[in-house]
Each structure stands twice: as structure tokens, then as C-alpha cells.
Amino acid sequence: MSAMQQFLMNPANQEWLAILKGARNGLVYGVKIRFPHALVMTLLFSHKPWPAKIKGIFSATRTHALNLCKFVTIYKLMLLLQKRLNGGKERDLDTFVAGGLGGWYVFGERTPINEQIVLYVMSRVILSFLPRLYQPSKPPTTPVSPLSHPLPPLTSIQANPKPIPPANLPFTVVSTLSWAAVMYLFRHRGERIQPGMGNSMRYLYHDSEAWTSLKTLLWHNK
């Protein structure tokens, strides 16, 4: 076994190399998720010149990938720090604290990409609290806060108001709590996480705990 292989497989280095691989997986996953989405959305809806389209696609991909990379790094570092401070033992709320700090630092600023990610995470967190067995209920007979009658035509300005973005402080609070909750649920109640998100999280946080060579540490996941 080479010196490099011995270093990679040494249990003493496992926790730190797991942070490195987690950062790598966050970067790769961000590219895989954002690039095709940005490409399709740009081709379908953007009317900008081609140079601006290409720049926008790569900018969105870079931002998404780097944000996930930073979040995974902060999350794993905070878990390791808390574990070391607690005598090598993981506590139930360590994931909540680490996820919250990562969510605040990385996703706390309201940007279009951060908003999409936080809404995705928050929706999965909310869904995780729903009962597992479906129970039919009587739907409401009237919508909440309905428009006054007569209703405006669907193509009118009144029926298509310009979206108002959330204020920064409430968005930061929602971002922090969403990431804190989803990381706690994933660690302790993973069966309640939506399958698609569960697969993504296993790739980011569990797969980054294992490798057999330099290739599977930095180039291929497995």
C-alpha cells in the first residue's frame, strides 16, 4: 500500500477528509442540478443576447455549486467541532445547530438562487411533519383572501401583479430554521424526508464519508 493510500485510509484522517469530499460533492451536485435547469429555463424564457444567456447560465451554475460546497463544508466542520467539544460524542441537536449556522451564513441573503433552494428545503421540511397515512378532508369552499368580484381577466394587470420579494430579515430566519430542521430530520428521522431530497442528501453527507482511493475521494463518488 502506497503512502498516499495509507494516508487516505488512516482512520485518524477520516473526519477531515470527509469534509473535503463533502465540499467536492457539494460542488459537483450543484453543477449537476443547476446547469441543466439554468440551460432549459434560459432557452425557454430568456430573450437576452446569446453572450448574456451563456454568462447567466454559468453564473447561476457557479453560484449554486459554490453555495452547496460552502454549506456542506460549514455543516461538517460544525458537526466535528461540536463533537470534539462534547468529548467525541454527537448530541441530538448538533445537526440542527450546524444546519442552522450553515443556512444562515450561506443561504441567509435573499437572492433568486438562494430563494429557490430555501423554498425547496422548506417545503420538504413542512411535508415531513405531515402524517404518513393519507386522510381525506373536506376542501375549502372559498379561496383564502379572494379577489373582489367581478374577477379581473386572467391577462389583465390586476390578475398578474408583479411579485414582491420577501424582506431580508424574515427570509434569513426562514432560511436558518429550514436548514436546521432538515439536517436534524435527515439525521434522526430520515424516513420522513421526501425521497428525492433524501437521495440528494445521502450523496452530499453520507457518501462523502467513504472512499477507497484518491480517485473516489476527489474524482468519482464511488
R_g of the chain computed on alpha carbons = 21
Residue 177's alpha-carbon distances to 34, 125, 204, in angstroms, are 23, 10, 20
Whole-model pTM over 0.85: no
Higher pLDDT pick, 90 / 105: 105
Q: What is the DSSP string of 194-207?
A: -HHHHHHHIIIIIG
Query: Is pLDDT of 145 > 70?
Result: no
- Residue 96 to residues 10, 81, 176, 180: CA-CA distances in angstroms? 29, 14, 10, 4
Task: Report whether 103 contacts 175 (CB < 8 A).
Answer: yes
Query: What are the φ/ψ torsions at residue 3 (nearest 5 degrees)?
Result: -60, -40
Hey, CA dihedral for 133, 134, 138, 139, is it positive or negative?
Answer: positive
Sign of the dihedral defined by the CA atoms of residues 184, 71, 209, 6, in that order? negative
pLDDT value at residue 153: 63
Q: For the segment 156-195, what is each residue's pLDDT rounded down to a tens digit?
A: 787 776 766 777 888 888 889 999 999 999 999 888 887 7
pLDDT per residue over 24-80, tens digit each? 999 999 999 999 989 988 887 788 999 999 999 999 999 999 999 999 999 999 999
Sequence spans of domains, the chain? 13-129+166-219
Q: For 126-137, write each residue's pLDDT tens digit.
A: 877 765 444 444
Q: What is the pLDDT of residue 152?
A: 67
- Residue 122: phi and psi, rounded to 5, are -60, -40
Cα 168 to its chain centre, rounded Å, is 19
Return the SS3 of 84. helix
The pLDDT of residue 164 is 63
